[in-house]
Amino acid sequence: MTENILSVNNLSKVYKAGGHDLTVLRDVTFSVKKGSMVSIVGPSGSGKTTLLGLCAGLDNSSAGSVYINDIRIDNLSEDEKAGIRSRYTGFIFQNFQLLPTLTVLENVMVPLELRGEKDIKRGALELLEKVGLGERSHHYPTQLSGGEQQRVALARAFSNRPDILFADEPTGNLDAETGEKIVKLIFELNRESGTTLLLVTHDLELASRTQRIIRLKGGELISDLSTQPNQQ
Ligand code: ADP
């Protein structure tokens, strides 16, 4: 076993658009140490979301490889990738992506149900309490504010005790004050559980609070810097 939770090697992604090839990621290579917090920054359209989706096994690359916990995932079947996601990863999105027909509690239980776990209600309720929404477990997502929905999404992402949390602009749809509460909660949950964080953001102040910043431009990794130079 290496100390890396994630390794990305020479990753490229080409979209076929209107008879043309659009290269949105070109030869991207980096790895992420277990327990660290890393940001991916770059201008809009630079490939951040595409890269995060490939790292999480949500999308297929055109070339290169992705390893999670030393398991190569890019050449697995969709079912196998879903199994890896369920075992090792959590994901939160800018637009929360809760399931609207399920209650808050049911949303949080989904990843555990997918894993076939039993007696999942108590753990899900504890997580909801941790994010301050224990009282809202029987409400539906549309009955909650954006910040509350993102807290449910966080509880859901942590419900299967992931080794790595992928977060795509998690505060992008929230006002500054609510966004800051969500950031604090993400950092707190990560620290408590030792979960690795890979965060996509355009917010440089937020990125500077993680330990390392990977910068993309035009689909290429143009810098990869520690924010704490004396500690690496
Ligand atoms: P970012 O997250 O940095 O804003 P994205 O990864 O969302 O960048 O997008 C990178 C580029 O890929 C953009 O030019 C976008 O238009 C393009 N793109 C994303 N998804 C698709 C798709 N499904 N088909 C074609 N082009 C896409």
Contacts of 86 by beta carbon, 8 Å cutoff, 6+ apart: 111, 114, 115, 160
Global ipTM: 0.97
CATH label, 4-226, candidates 3.90.1150.10, 3.40.50.300, 3.60.150.10, 3.20.20.150:
3.40.50.300
Tokens 């990621």 correspond to: 25
What is the full per-residue pLDDT of the chain (232 aa) written as tens digits?
579 999 999 999 999 888 899 999 999 999 999 999 999 999 999 999 999 999 999 999 999 999 999 999 999 999 999 999 999 999 999 999 999 999 999 999 999 888 888 889 999 999 999 999 999 999 999 999 999 999 999 999 999 999 999 999 999 999 999 999 999 999 999 999 999 999 999 999 999 999 999 999 999 999 999 997 554 4
* Contact predicate 24/13, CB 8 Å: yes
* Contact predicate 200/49, CB 8 Å: yes
Contacts of 115 by beta carbon, 8 Å cutoff, 6+ apart: 86, 87, 160
Closest Cα to atom 21 of ligand 1: 15
Contacts of 71 by beta carbon, 8 Å cutoff, 6+ apart: 84
Gap from CA of 20 to ligand 1 centroid (Å): 14
Contact residues of ligand 1, CB 6 A cut-off: 15, 17, 22, 24, 42, 44-50
Which ligand 1 atom sits closest to the C-alpha of 53?
Answer: 6
Q: In the numeric block, which tokens belong to residue 153?
A: 């999404």
Gap from CA of 137 to ligand 1 centroid (Å): 35
Closest Cα to atom 14 of ligand 1: 45
Gap from CA of 138 to ligand 1 centroid (Å): 36
Which ligand 1 atom sits closest to the C-alpha of 42?
Answer: 3
**What are 16-61's pLDDT values in tens digits?**
888 899 999 999 999 999 999 999 999 999 999 999 999 999 999 9
Tokens 């993309």 correspond to: 216
Q: Give the number of other Cβ atoms within 10 Å of residue 60's Cβ.
A: 12
Closest Cα to atom 5 of ligand 1: 47
- Of 22, 203, 214, 222, the one to substitute when testing ligand 1's pocket (max ligand atoms within 8 A of C-beta) is 22
Phi, psi angle pair for 193, to nearest 5°: -100, -5
Phi, psi angle pair for 211, to nearest 5°: -85, -15
In this structure, the dihedral spanned by the alpha carbons of residues 21, 22, 24 and 25, taken in order and rounded to 10 degrees, is 20
Domain ranges of the chain: 4-226
Say what the pTM is.
0.94
